[in-house]
Amino acid sequence: MFSVIPGAMLLTAALAATNAAATAPVYDVVVYGGTSSGVMAAVQARRMGKGAVIVCPDRHLGGLSSGGLGWTDTGDKSVIGGLAREFYHRVWRHYQEDAAWRWETRQEYGNQGQGTPAMDGEFRTMWIFEPHVAEQVFEDYVREYEIPVHRDEWLDRDNGVAKRDGRIEAITMRSGSTYRGRMFIDATYEGDLMATAGVSYHVGREANRLYGETLNGVQTAHAVHHQFDALVDPYVVPGNRDSGLLPRIHGDAPGVDGEGDHRVQAYCYRVCLTNVPENRVPFPKPDNYDPMQYELLGRYLDTGFREIFFTFSPLPNRKTDTNNRGAFSTDNIGMNYDYPEADYERRREILREHEDYQKGFFWFLANDPRVPEEVRAEISRWGLARDEFRDNGNWPHQIYVREARRMVGDFVMTERHLRRQTPTPRPIGMGSYNMDSHHTQRYVAYDDEGRAHARNEGDVQVHPGAPYPIDYGAILPKRAECENLLVPVCVSSSHIAFGSIRMEPVFMILGQSAATAAALALDDGVPVQALDYQRLAQRLREDGQVLAWKMDGRRHIDPDTLEGIVMDNPCAEIEGPWRISRSITPMVGVNYLHDDQPGSGACIARYRLPVPAPGRYEVRISFSANPNRATNAPVTVHHADGVAKIPVNQRASPPIKNAFLSLGVFAFEEEALVVIANEGADGHVIADAVQLLPIVAD
């Protein structure tokens, strides 16, 4: 049954909506998204005396931090400051109460964290926590700071952003509710406000050549983790290509390494499991359970595979943060490509498919007769935690959107910034985690004998070398596109750089920094792009944000602290298959160049150092010694009187501070050129830094 509304009534309704929008309160800062970043942005705005509101499609605050990701991807904790560190302090305070330990004692928990103790007593922080504890911390924040939260409000992505003269004036939800503001922050994982406002963005993986990267685009060669360790036939009838492919495998070629594509890394739910019988809910069987969806896993089991099928990262009270592990696990590889730009209805379909897949995965391992009995018996000891996600069938309310849209601003964070090969002039916070991409596709590969088998592609896990700064420009749209919007989650970043930035502590850091910039821009009456950076940096430091990482001077030597003229390897001109390494210390900066494998190809690094005045200079090079290094690494010094060829024994420790070796004193007119190569070397060659020290005449 339906009714027809006369035109006059439609006009009256439209006028009423317009009047309602005109009379809606004007907030200083409107935050769209109830993620951890969104909450921190609103809190910071209130701390700076601004009115703030959180408008979000979520019913629960905190995003992934309260949605199952309790095993925090911290990286280097020393660069987590400000409100982010305060959040983990509040978690620590909770677990100091005996009442917090219901299913085990504090002593039984064991204090295991991700490469660090879960409870850091010295700094009064706790990095590992149950989902409901995190959610309560976020709820405490909005209550204490009297921040209104409008939940279950979905942006009208067709006509819901009102802009004038390059500024957002109001956003309207599908419910008809309108929120006016002077500044807006898009803190969603999807970047819906950003996109609806007409801001440029990218979905998928860029080609390496676009930003001069090495780890972007298709990555079949790097995809060695979470990989099948045996040949598993991909066809419905083994060996019969005409029978078709098993589910969750595509028949196309994976693509050329380093080339861009539309694919995004896999999503999953970070499910909270327990083995406490009184608190355990047996794995539910989806109504549409289809064992063929897991036949590939069954065949993998047939090969004898018995490794861990998913992680059991321990949370307090005998619970887990369960994540993907292995070739066929909780990651729903290749089923999320539509999600970033899909409409709400299509997204719900994708979420339901992911939930059914993952529930079916657990049920398959725990119950299906296709699975060996010893595996079923072990997995059946576990189940969903009854006291988590109580209003959602004990299932997380937030899927792990590892990436969706990424803004394209005037400044784009890339692999080169993370590795400090390219300067980051306006830091507003720091990241430190691996450049981490989960798999993006599962395809048919062939071994040397032509046998078809399933293979995954996309996984990359490479450390940037040390903590790195994130530039203010990464959260700013282009000024011509919007002057009063900041984007602290879907930041301006390449795919592989986002793989490191995308950690919850970093999102909290960037949320606080975004709100700080919004408040200061309001005070100064300028677009966010025109804000004085030094003013911003000063306030960020006052509020506890960490904007720089101090090298310890022993393992990592800051080139800015060295005498004379110093050029570190990121500034050298390089040719050939050098790889970046940080395995052996000491080193200048955060990494050095390694020629990978002897005979893998000619590697050349040219260091061109301008000299302030003609004269004589001592030339030093740095390298980390090791028995597998060359005894005759060819180094060439081009100087005013000619060329000096000097073989360097890189197996012996450099005599100057265990880091530098002097090559001698040479005359230079305008420039010193030092070339380190590997031609004819009898071992690995390292290129780190070159130092020039002026010789003062007596």
Contact predicate 685/569, CB 8 Å: no
- Cα dihedral 79, 548, 508, 322 sign: negative
Contact predicate 300/232, CB 8 Å: yes
Grade residue 24 by pLDDT with cuts at 50, 70 and 90: confident
Query: Per residue in 180-234, pLDDT tens?
Result: 999 999 999 999 999 999 999 999 999 999 999 999 999 999 889 999 999 999 9
What pLDDT does 123 receive?
A: 81
What pLDDT does 134 receive?
A: 98
Contact predicate 320/311, CB 8 Å: yes
Grade residue 122 by pLDDT with cuts at 50, 70 and 90: confident
Q: What is the mean pLDDT of residues 141-150?
A: 98
Listed residue (695, 690, 677) closest to 609, CA to CA: 690
Query: Per residue in 421-465, pLDDT tens?
Result: 899 999 999 999 999 999 999 999 999 999 999 999 999 999 998
Q: What is the distance between the alpha carbons of residues 589 and 612, in angstroms, rounded to a whole number?
A: 23
Query: Is the pLDDT score of 16 beyond 60?
Result: no
Q: What is the mean pLDDT of residues 357-369?
A: 97
Q: What is the distance between the alpha carbons of residues 87 and 75, in angstroms, rounded to a whole number?
A: 16
Q: What is the distance between the alpha carbons of residues 36 and 489, in angstroms, rounded to a whole number?
A: 10
At 31 the three-state DSSP class reads strand
CATH 2.60.120.260 holds for 556-694: yes
Q: What is the mean pLDDT of residues 105-112?
A: 84
Lowest mean pLDDT among 12-26, 488-502, 623-637, 679-693: 12-26
First to last CA, the chain: 102
Write out the DSSP string of 587-605. EETT-EEE--STTS---EE
Mean pLDDT over each residue of the chain, to the nearest integer: 93
At 299 the three-state DSSP class reads helix
Strands 26-32 and 52-55: parallel
φ, ψ (nearest 5 deg) of residue 358: -75, -40
Query: Is the pLDDT score of 243 beyond 90?
Result: yes
Query: Is the pLDDT score of 359 beyond 80?
Result: yes
Write out the DSSP string of 437-495. E---EEEEEE-TT--EEEEEE--EEE--SS-EEEEGGGG---TTT-SSEE-SSS-SB-H
Query: Is the pLDDT score of 114 beyond 90?
Result: no
What pLDDT does 319 receive?
A: 97
Determine what percent of the chain falls in helix, strand and coil, rounding each to the nearest 5. 25, 25, 45
What residues does each domain of the chain span? 556-694
What pLDDT does 579 receive?
A: 86
What pLDDT does 71 receive?
A: 94
Query: Per residue in 70-88, pLDDT tens?
Result: 999 988 999 999 999 999 9
By residue count, the chain amounts to 698
What pLDDT does 235 receive?
A: 97
What is the percent of the chain with per-residue pLDDT over 90, rounded to a whole number?
86
What is the percent of the chain with per-residue pLDDT over 70, rounded to a whole number?
96
Query: Per residue in 565-619, pLDDT tens?
Result: 999 998 899 998 888 888 899 999 989 999 976 556 799 999 999 999 999 999 9
What pLDDT does 601 receive?
A: 75
**Does the bond joining 586 to the residue before it have cis omega, within 30 degrees of 0?**
yes
Q: What is the distance between the alpha carbons of residues 525 and 88, in angstroms, rounded to a whole number?
A: 34
Query: Per residue in 305-348, pLDDT tens?
Result: 988 899 999 999 999 999 999 999 999 999 999 999 999 999 99
Q: Enumerate residues 6+ apart whose C-beta is below 8 A from 434.
A: 75, 461, 462, 463, 464, 499, 500
Query: Per residue in 377-406, pLDDT tens?
Result: 999 999 999 999 999 999 999 999 999 999
What pLDDT does 1 receive?
A: 29
Q: What is the distance between the alpha carbons of residues 327 and 301, in angstroms, rounded to a whole number?
A: 11
What pLDDT does 673 receive?
A: 97
Grade residue 17 by pLDDT with cuts at 50, 70 and 90: very low
At 630 the three-state DSSP class reads coil
CA distances from 614 to 164, 500, 689 (A): 58, 44, 22
Query: Is the pLDDT score of 504 beyond 60?
Result: yes
What pLDDT does 10 receive?
A: 33
Ranges of beta strands (E only) in 265-325 are 273-274, 280-281, 313-315, 319-321
Contact predicate 418/500, CB 8 Å: yes
Listed residue (189, 75, 187, 214) closest to 494, CA to CA: 214
At 418 the three-state DSSP class reads helix
Contact predicate 484/182, CB 8 Å: yes
CA distances from 688 to 100, 557, 565, 585 (A): 50, 11, 14, 11
Task: Please give the distance of CA 555 from its chain centroid, rounded to a whole number.
Answer: 26
Query: Is the pLDDT score of 7 beyond 60?
Result: no
Lowest mean pLDDT among 333-337, 470-474, 678-682: 678-682
Q: What is the mean pLDDT of residues 58-74?
A: 96
Write out the DSSP string of 194-223. HHHTT--EE-SBPPHHHHT-SS-SB-TTT-
Alpha helices in 96-130 (DSSP H): 106-109
State the DSSP code for 653. P
